[in-house]
Amino acid sequence: MSRALWLILPLTMLTACTDKGDDDDDDSEDEAVDADGDGFDEDEDCDDSDMLVFPGADEICDEVDNDCDGEIDEADATDASTWYADGDGDGFGGEASATDACEAPSGFIADSTDCDDADAAVHPDADEICDGVDNDCDDEVDEDDALDAATWYADGDGDGFGDLNSPTNACEQPDGHVADYTDCDDGDGAVNPDADELCSTDGVDDDCDGDIDEADAADVSTWYADVDGDGYGDVTSTTVDCDQPTDYVSDSTDCDDDDAYTHPFADELCDGVDNDCDSSTGEDGVATFWDTSGVATDYSSTMSGSSSSPAAVTLADDGELSICEGTWYVNLDVQADVDLYGQTGDAEATILDGVLTDTVVHMYTDGITVSVTDLTLQGGFGSEIYYGSDLGVGGGVACYSSDGTASLSLSGVTLVANDADYLGGGLFGYDCTLDIDDSLITENTVGFDAAGMIWMGGDLTISDSEISENIAEDDVGGIYVADLSGNGFTADFEDVDIVGNVSMDDVGGMAVGDGDLTMSGTTSGASVITENVDGGGDYGGVYIYGGEIVFDTVSFGTSAGGDDNDPYDIYCTGSDYPYFYDDDETVTCDDDLCGSEDTHTVASDDASADSDNGMRGNVFLADAQGTIHDFEVYGHVEDGEGCEVDFYVLSATSTGAATWTVEWSSSQTVTDDEADWISSGDIGFPVEVGSYYALAVGWDCDDDEYAYAYEGTSSTGEDMGMGDTVGRWLSTDYTADGSSLESSFSTGSFLYLMNTTWSH
């Protein structure tokens, strides 16, 4: 019953009572008092001041014993609440544990939505998780929005890899779905991250790594660098790729990838290289020409003449001609800048033979530069006409330039057994520049001049080379250097041997004219002019008719050593003076003389004597090389009738010789009766170190006497210029003899007044 109703009922009842008659007034004092008018007197009512409190009233939750049963706010209070046990303490109660009470009992709450009050993780506010439990009490278990639901991806091609663009969430793996999402083509089961990348699936990323046809493809190819572009690769330089990279090939058999002419199917070239990669060069009989762009041409057949018919080859293009081992019968006409060389580096191994038909290497084009290296040139015959005759010149090599612009170099070359009718059996040059190094010019012949070589203008350099055993039927066996072109020349020889050359007429070793030549030896014996023979008997080692030669540390051989030149070492045509020199000499010569000229005086005129017959002179031992220009004696005739006076240069190997050789003599008639110097005239006789010489005069007067001056107190040992005096020549019975005189050597102390002029 509501509280309002309780208020209305007592008032009604009160009114009814009031309406009774007054008769009852006296009894009122005996009745119980119902102060609050709730129908219960104070004896029954537990709170007669509150009309809402009386026995039988509805108990309500107001902390009052409304029904006067002695209990307050008991569970049956009309407004008591229903409470639910929260057994798991998660803030949500279980419906099965409901109880009514005005206040929530301990462990109870007003909520009844917990579907599992034994599990604090299960309640309506819980996150659904994948555990087979309805965690959020929505009557569904492990639904797709579970907190830990997995994302699954459609695997349309069944290859075990899903499509990132087709995801779904679920606690359990749905059919046709997988946890992986890395498939880059879910419509092709062969394309997935575990697949092998394949070159054969062109343009497909088989392994889904973002790259297509990369180097680790299962069927990738190995390619080999082909640097030289010959189609064959280098096994040591590789790359892997699906497609052939630029400058790579599939072949790996090139044995030299820097050379386009070297690969397994190449022809062997003359280059010292295994061109066909078969571990063998096999280049004998091969010749190769390279032009300036590096293009090779096989010249083997071009160069292949026979011993009866040599090949005639013209080289008109700049480049290199490499010639391999063997004997080649060929005549080369070089008209361009060309390097000719023997590939082996040994001149004896590669021979060019002209078969005595033409010059072996012939160059007559202005402005070209030609080199010849490590070759033997033999059997050449000079047929080209260049200079002063209708006969041929230059058997082994011929170089002609009309304007001095051509140049030639020889290195490691042997010129042997070549011939020419006229000039330069081994080599002919006219106004070219020539450089010879480490070469041998030997056993060449010539019909006229310069069997070894002739150089007629243009600068000439020879080093570490030998010119030997060449034979000229006429002039100059070894080398002839002259300015016959009119353009001048300079020549420089260093460590050069001119040895054993023969001329049947004039000049065995070397002739030089109209230019400057220097010949030097870097060490003792490194530069020599020895054993050269002039068959005509006048010259021998060196013949100078113009210009100047500087000899620096040059050996000329010695008589004692058996390697002297015959008959002389040097001959100067301007004075007709010859010279002897020994080993390691240093001297400068021109066409007049070698060294310098000086005069030495021996004795004085403090005494004199005369006779109609006799011979007087001074004797010295030569201790240096030099040539006697002349000598003078101080004398006269007594009566003016005149005497025939003979001047002598005598020699002997010892003072004890029975006879002395007449090396030179001349005669003149002396008529002057006044004492004066009487000259021998030009002598030009060279002395040899270690020989004894007498300079003496002899007379046999018919009607007069010859008087001479001497120094009676002089002793031997005075310097005569090329040696000291060792005695005198004294004869009182003189008879002229053409080749020798009996010894008149005396060790007496007298010396005869004499001037001797030398060059040395």
Structure tokens at 690: 């270690």
In terms of DSSP bridges, do strands 723-731 and 745-746 run parallel, antiparallel, or are they unpaired?
antiparallel
**Residue 195 located in a structural domain:** no
Give one DSSP letter per residue of 128-153, joined into a string: P-SSSS-TTSSS-SS-TT-TTPEEEE
| Shared domain check, 385 and 496 | yes
Residue 15 confidence (pLDDT): 37
Residue 186 confidence (pLDDT): 87
Structure tokens at 525: 């014996």
DSSP state of 269: -
- CA dihedral (382, 384, 390, 394) positive or negative: negative
In terms of DSSP bridges, do strands 407-411 and 369-373 run parallel, antiparallel, or are they unpaired?
parallel
Cβ(116)–Cβ(95) below 8 Å: no
| Shared domain check, 467 and 361 | yes
Decide: helix, strand or coil at residue 96.
helix
In terms of DSSP bridges, do strands 407-411 and 433-437 run parallel, antiparallel, or are they unpaired?
parallel
Give the list of residues 6+ apart from residue 449 with CB closer than 8 angstroms, or none.
422, 423, 424, 472, 474, 475, 476, 480
| Shared domain check, 569 and 462 | yes
**Residue 380 located in a structural domain:** yes
DSSP state of 719: B
Question: At residue 259, what are phi and psi to the nearest 5 degrees?
Answer: -130, 110
| Shared domain check, 743 and 622 | yes
Residue 387 confidence (pLDDT): 66
DSSP state of 97: G
Mean pLDDT by 10 residues, the chain (760 residues): 38 38 46 84 87 88 88 84 86 84 87 84 87 86 83 90 90 90 87 87 84 81 92 92 91 89 88 84 89 95 96 98 97 98 96 97 97 98 79 94 95 98 96 97 97 94 98 97 85 98 97 94 97 93 95 94 94 94 95 95 94 97 95 96 97 97 96 96 94 97 96 88 95 90 92 96
**Residue 172 located in a structural domain:** no
**Residue 26 located in a structural domain:** no
- CA dihedral (744, 747, 752, 756) positive or negative: positive
Say which amino acid occupies 166.
S
| Shared domain check, 686 and 649 | yes
| Shared domain check, 370 and 515 | yes
User: Mind spelling out the 3-state secondary structure of 614-651?
Assistant: EEEEEEEEECCCEEEEEEEEEEEECCCCCEEEEEEEEE
Tally the domains of the chain.
2
Cβ(487)–Cβ(513) below 8 Å: no
| Helical spans, DSSP H, in 652-719 | none
Cα separation, 528 vs 627, in Å, equals 20
Decide: helix, strand or coil at residue 182.
strand
**Residue 247 located in a structural domain:** no
Cα separation, 373 vs 377, in Å, equals 11
Instruction: State which residues form the domain around 474.
Output: 355-590
**Residue 297 located in a structural domain:** no
Say which amino acid occupies 92.
F
**Cα–Cα nearest to 552, from 577, 576, 571, 529:** 529
**Residue 434 located in a structural domain:** yes
| Shared domain check, 524 and 382 | yes
Q: Which residue has the tokens 């403090």?
A: 606
Residue 27 confidence (pLDDT): 46
- pTM for the structure as a whole: 0.73
In terms of DSSP bridges, do strands 643-652 and 659-670 run parallel, antiparallel, or are they unpaired?
antiparallel
Task: Indicate the residue among 567, 590, 613 that finishes a domain.
Answer: 590
Residue 146 confidence (pLDDT): 84
Beta bridge partners of 664: 649
Structure tokens at 180: 């992986």
Residue 6 confidence (pLDDT): 36
Residue 25 confidence (pLDDT): 45
| Shared domain check, 635 and 503 | no
Cα separation, 441 vs 451, in Å, equals 10
Task: Indicate the residue among 590, 624, 648 that finishes a domain.
Answer: 590
Q: Exposure string (b/e) for 457-496, b if CB count within 10 Å is 16 or more?
A: bbbbebbbbbbbbbbbbbbbbbbbbbbbbeeebebbbbbb
| Shared domain check, 648 and 579 | no
Residue 31 confidence (pLDDT): 67
Q: Which residue has the tokens 């007559």?
A: 364
Measured distance between the N- and C-terminal CA atoms of the chain, rounded to whole angstroms = 172
| Shared domain check, 538 and 460 | yes
| Shared domain check, 610 and 556 | no
| Shared domain check, 434 and 513 | yes
**Residue 452 located in a structural domain:** yes
Compute CA distances 582 → 489, 525, 573, 653, 700, whole Å.
Answer: 28, 11, 21, 17, 39
Residue 642: give its domain's CATH number: 2.60.120
Task: Indicate the residue among 590, 606, 626 that finishes a domain.
Answer: 590
**Cα–Cα nearest to 543, from 495, 576, 581, 504:** 576
